[in-house]
Each structure stands twice: as C-alpha cells, then as structure tokens.
Amino acid sequence: MPYVNIKITKEGATAEQKGELIAGVTELLERVLNKNPATTVVVIDEVETDNWGIAGEQVTHRRKKGM
Amino acid sequence: MPYVNIKITKEGATAEQKGELIAGVTELLERVLNKNPATTVVVIDEVETDNWGIAGEQVTHRRKKGM
Amino acid sequence: MPYVNIKITKEGATAEQKGELIAGVTELLERVLNKNPATTVVVIDEVETDNWGIAGEQVTHRRKKGM
Amino acid sequence: MPYVNIKITKEGATAEQKGELIAGVTELLERVLNKNPATTVVVIDEVETDNWGIAGEQVTHRRKKGM
Amino acid sequence: MPYVNIKITKEGATAEQKGELIAGVTELLERVLNKNPATTVVVIDEVETDNWGIAGEQVTHRRKKGM
Amino acid sequence: MPYVNIKITKEGATAEQKGELIAGVTELLERVLNKNPATTVVVIDEVETDNWGIAGEQVTHRRKKGM
C-alpha cells in the first residue's frame, strides 16, 4: 500500500524510463519491506525547468550555464 | 483550513465532476470535523497514465490489457 | 487507484472521525468518477498548530486570539 | 536540504516571478534556519483553476463572480 | 535533483530498512535517468494506521481482520 | 490561496523560527504575485533524520560524519 511520488524536471524522460522507475521502486519496496506490489502506487511528476529551483536559481538558467 | 490533494489519472474527468469532488470533500470536512469551508483548499492533480504506476506497471499498459 | 492526501491541524480528530473521512472520500470518488475503492488510498496528515500558518500567522497564535 | 513545494493557480505567473519566489524562499530558509542554498529544492506547481477549489467551489467559477 | 517522497504505514520499518530504501531509490534514479545522487532528496513519511485508508477502511481495522 | 509545504529535517527549529518562515513566505507571495495572505496556507513538515536521504545516505549518518 505504499505511495511513492517521484518529482523530476521535465527534460525528456521516455515512457520506457518512467516504466523502469515504477517497476524499480515497486520491486525495492517489496524486497526491503515486503510491501504488496498490487497496491503500491507510484506517481511521477515532471516539472518545467522554470518551476524547479536549486541554489536559489531556476534550472532553466542553470542549464544555460551548463549545470 | 484543511488542505486536500486528490491525485487521479488523466482519463477525462470533466470540469463538472471535478467541481463535485471539490464540493463533496469540502462538505465532508465540514460535516465530520466542523471545518470552515471558506478556508478549505482542494487541489486536484491529473496525472498522465505513463506517469502512474500500480503493481509495478504503468497504467497505460494496464489499460491496453483492459485493466 | 486515486490517492488522496488530507492535511488538517492536529486538534483532536478522533479515530472514528478519521475513519469517516476515509470512507466518505472513497465513496465520493466511486460515486463521481467510478473509481475502484479497493485501490483508493487516503492518507491523513495531522499537523502541529505551530507548523500550520494562515494569513502569515501560526494557528497556535490564532487560537489564542479565539480564531 | 529543505524541500519547498509552492502550489498556485495557473493564472499567468511569469518566469521572472517564479524566479523571484525561488530566490526568495531559498534566501528565507538560509536567513532563518541557516539552510544551505546549494541543496535547497523549490518546486512550483501551477494548477488549472478548474482543479483548485476553495469554499467548495472551483476557482474558475469564483473568478467569473469577480472573486 | 529529483525529489522522492515515500509514504508507508508506521509498522516498524527499521532505520536500516529506511536506509536501504533511500540508497535503492537514489541508485535507481542514477541508473535510469543519470540523475546526480548528490542532489537527490528522498523523504520517507511513516503514517499511523488510523490515518491510512484503503478500500474505504482504516488500516488499523484491516490489520485486525488479518489483512 | 497559495499552498506552500516546507519540508525540513527535525533538528530543533523553534516555534519562533517556524513563525518567521510562515510570515516570510506569505509576505513573499503577496509581494511577488499579489496573493491574498488571508487564504495563503503554509504547512511545515519536520522529518526525522533517519527518514531524510541525500546522496543516497540518511542524514543521521551524514551528521555523524560532520556533514
């Protein structure tokens, strides 16, 4: 019954990669805490780089500086 | 002053249905806990089916299998 | 498969009241969007009044002023 | 290392304004709690007005009534 | 820079198990999306079973029924 | 009507400091986006250091290494 929310910047993650994250997190919770995959919910939020800040700066600007 | 976040897959919920959810949750909180509707915030997030996983699988795939 | 998060201040909600909220929200999602109760997850977070602010003020202070 | 999530209605916040929010919150956490800006994450979610409710009503309707 | 929030019921997860979840999710994000572990934030929320509902019922009651 | 969630590690933030964060974020949203303080909700979550990971490690361990 775990609920996992993964927030990443919207920078081209493919459907297959998102599928890998979902499968990987579900397997991890089953292995470590014996949680039932059938009721493990995983939600991925992809956030525009204007809307994500780190070190006080929008990722959009950091990417322009090669960060 | 409650804050309610409802996450559902993005599968065609209409504006009217979302209005019903907002009204229904606000009424429920007022009835059960006497919370003031005027400061009850409800946010609905609609998530792409590629980005929602259950049982280790993306909903996109489950829908193709009629689940 | 919806996920609902209800955040309220920690001011004495009983186990029964929280049960009512869980049942009520699950019923609402089934009625309005035909969502399957078996995989509807509801999580209630109870937050200390020092940690909840509205109008720029902690609820602790507002309660002292009878608000 | 703080994580801050700011949810606002999707009503035209500019990239510059979002940058100001990110910088402002990061500075606030550094000033008040001496948190390291380099690992302070700020995520802004902009929510459609159909999907945001207050006082049991969608913001879309409240805006039509000049609220 | 990903942010991952894992919500589980408060049913005895040890510090070591939580460490495994944190390491496992961070490794998964690095492997699948080449995300930098140094700024990958993972937060685990443990929720009382009275405060977690599935199928319209509190987990406290489901556990009493051996579910 | 904004909703702001600030997650920090549980490492001794005082009631006054949390009050400063609430006032500061509310003022920032009013200044930058002209948001109404009266319906600006701020929730602070304080997370145990065992439950917070960065760089794949629990903060508890990082603190022992002086990080």
Query: Hunting for tokens 């508890």 — which residue is that?
Result: F60
Q: What is the pLDDT of residue F67?
A: 83
Q: What is the pLDDT of residue E67?
A: 83
Cβ-contact F46, F36 below 8 angstroms: no
Residue E1: pLDDT band (50, 70, 90) is confident
Q: C-E interface: how many C-beta pairs under 8 angstroms?
A: 53
Task: State which residues of chain A have pLDDT below 70.
Answer: none
Q: What is the pLDDT of residue C1?
A: 83
| C27 pLDDT higher than 90 | yes
Enumerate neighbours of C (3 or more CB pairs within 8 A). Answer: A, B, E, F
Distance from CA of E52 to the nearest CA of F (A): 18
In sequence order, the β-bridge partners of residue F47 are: F9
Enumerate neighbours of B (3 or more CB pairs within 8 A). Answer: A, C, D, F
Q: Which amino acid is at C52?
A: W
Give the pLDDT confidence of F3-59 residue by residue, as tens digits: 999 999 999 999 999 999 999 999 999 999 999 999 999 999 999 999 999 999 999
Residue E53: pLDDT band (50, 70, 90) is very high
Q: What is the pLDDT of residue D67?
A: 83
Cα–Cα distance measured from residue B42 to residue D52, given in angstroms and rounded to the nearest whole number: 6
Q: What is the pLDDT of residue E18?
A: 98
Give the pLDDT confidence of D5-62 residue by residue, as tens digits: 999 999 999 999 999 999 999 999 999 999 999 999 999 999 999 999 999 999 999 9
Cα–Cα distance measured from residue E15 to residue C10, given in angstroms and rounded to the nearest whole number: 26
Interface with C, mutate which of E50, E57, E61 (most C CBs under 10 A): E50
Q: What is the pLDDT of residue B64?
A: 93
The answer to whether the Cβ–Cβ distance between C43 and E56 falls below 8 Å is no
Q: What structural domains does chain B harbor?
A: 3-64 (3.30.429.10)
Whether F45 and chain B come into contact, CB under 8 Å, resolves to no
- Quickly count: other Cβ atoms within 10 Å of residue F61's Cβ: 15
Q: What is the DSSP letter of C6?
A: E
Cα–Cα distance measured from residue F53 to residue F43, given in angstroms and rounded to the nearest whole number: 21
Whether F55 and chain D come into contact, CB under 8 Å, resolves to no
Q: What is the pLDDT of residue A1?
A: 83
Give the pLDDT confidence of B27-47 residue by residue, as tens digits: 999 999 999 999 999 999 999
- Percent of the residues in chain C that have a pLDDT greater than 90, as a whole number: 93
Q: What is the pLDDT of residue A67?
A: 83
